[in-house]
Amino acid sequence: MAVQVQMPHLGESVDEGVITKWLIAEGDFIEEYEPLLEVNTDKVDTEIPSPASGVLLKILVSEGTTVQAGSVLAWIGEEHESPLDGDPESQISSTSTNTTTTPTTTHNVETSTRMETPAPGRDQELGFISPIVARIASEHGIDLYQIIGTGKGGRITKRDVLAFLEADNKQVLDVYIASTPEPTPLRQNEVLPLSPVRRAIAEHMVLSKRTSPHVTTVMEVDLSRVVAHREANKVAYTKDGANLTFTVYFVASTVAALKTYPLVNSSWGDDGIILHKEINIGMATSLGEEGLIVPVIKNADELSMLGLARSINELSNRARAKQLQPEEVKGGTFTITNHGTSGSLFATPIINQPQCAILGVGAIQKRAIVIEDAIAIRPMVYISLTFDHRILDGAIGDYFLGKVVESLLSW
């Protein structure tokens, strides 16, 4: 009997994923537990094993499609065997799902009485509503009946909702065009297709800038004591199987500042500011041309310097090797981005929503500074704090960043 291949739950809070690559073709034989396809969730690629041995009878979901956990992706069975009775395609719940009802008119906001956001899943009039579309609509009070979907079969996509938010006139128009046609590119221009990672980064960054008012403050730090401590302890850490990087010091100093000013370890909520008890530090890690990913050090305040070094080394190495698990990029309460690795002196990073702030670390350079009316050469670095002005005022932001500076100066 043919066996269904279903989209698994890849994490406690992972509801959907993008099919990035089928590893075998229809008609090919595969052994149980061998990798069958790759799925991307929150910029993490995961191989999905085959649930049984047999021939891949039919692929129901094409590459690049977003599917919900539990959706049927394919059928595996004996050669020449047919899938189970019934239309298997009707069991798919994905962003490519056809809907039988396509909105043909918009509903004026003054006369519509259906302002409650539909729950994720199938809606009799709107068709399939993905969890992320439902969440964005709920957060911004959007009536989905006001949007004409541009997805397959008239489905409302995440891009349609974001386009609606970007409209200058937030009042519902009698006729609303969810997307504008792109100009035909010149022949000599090359169009690079968007990878799931690049698309996720773009959507998250645009959403962050739209969600919270960003303010950035910058301070300068003399890292003489940090450099001396690192030089004195590098060999010992190496013997313990850890590389003592400068990132360890910035994470440890950030943890100290978050414990002193817990308001920075928070998120904005409709009912008030949410103070997080756990201190989970995200580290923005470059993947080269493929973009970046933010693995999270869980409960960083409970780790020693050696524990931080080991955790940072392991997460960074596995991030670059694309071996992270979906849960390892979730749950962050504060993020650090070391843009100085590429030579940048200082920057204004974008907040990793729904967090309150992000710390930027510039390149470490030896510079001439004045100490007690004398010129001295010191290893200096600019650090910046970009914060949500809804939660923090300038003074608190400066106090927090000043605490990071104090910790680095007094190592």
Residues 256-266 have pLDDT tens digits of 999 999 999 99
**pLDDT tens per residue, range 43-55:** 677 888 888 898 8
Architecture of domain 213-409 in CATH?
2-Layer Sandwich (3.30)
Q: Active-site residue 393, yes or no?
A: yes
Q: Active-site residue 389, yes or no?
A: yes
pLDDT-based confidence at 105, cuts 50/70/90? Answer: very low
Per-residue pLDDT at 273: 95
Fold annotation for 97-177: Dihydrolipoamide Transferase (4.10.320)
Whether 227 has a pLDDT exceeding 60, the answer reads: yes
Q: How far is CA 152 from CA 68, 116, 121, 128, in A?
A: 16, 24, 16, 11
Q: Catalytic residue, from 9, 28, 240, 389: name it.
A: 389
Q: How far is CA 12 from CA 2, 15, 16, 68, 168, in A?
A: 29, 8, 11, 14, 37
Q: Taking a C-beta distance cutoff of 8 angstroms, is the pair 72, 37 a contact?
A: no
Q: Catalytic residue, from 9, 28, 240, 393: name it.
A: 393
* Nearest partner of 94 among 75, 121, 118, 125, judged by Cα: 121
**pLDDT tens per residue, range 278-312:** 999 999 988 877 778 899 999 999 999 999 999 99
SS3 19: strand
Per-residue pLDDT at 148: 76
- Out of 3.40.50.1820, 2.40.50.100, 3.40.710.10, 3.30.1330.10, which CATH number does the structure's domain 3-91 have? 2.40.50.100
pLDDT-based confidence at 100, cuts 50/70/90? Answer: very low
All structural domains of the chain with their residue ranges: 3-91, 97-177, 213-409
319 vs 183 pLDDT, higher one: 319
Same fold, 97-177 and 213-409: no
Per-residue pLDDT at 103: 40
Mean pLDDT lowest among 27-41, 116-130, 199-213, 234-248? 116-130
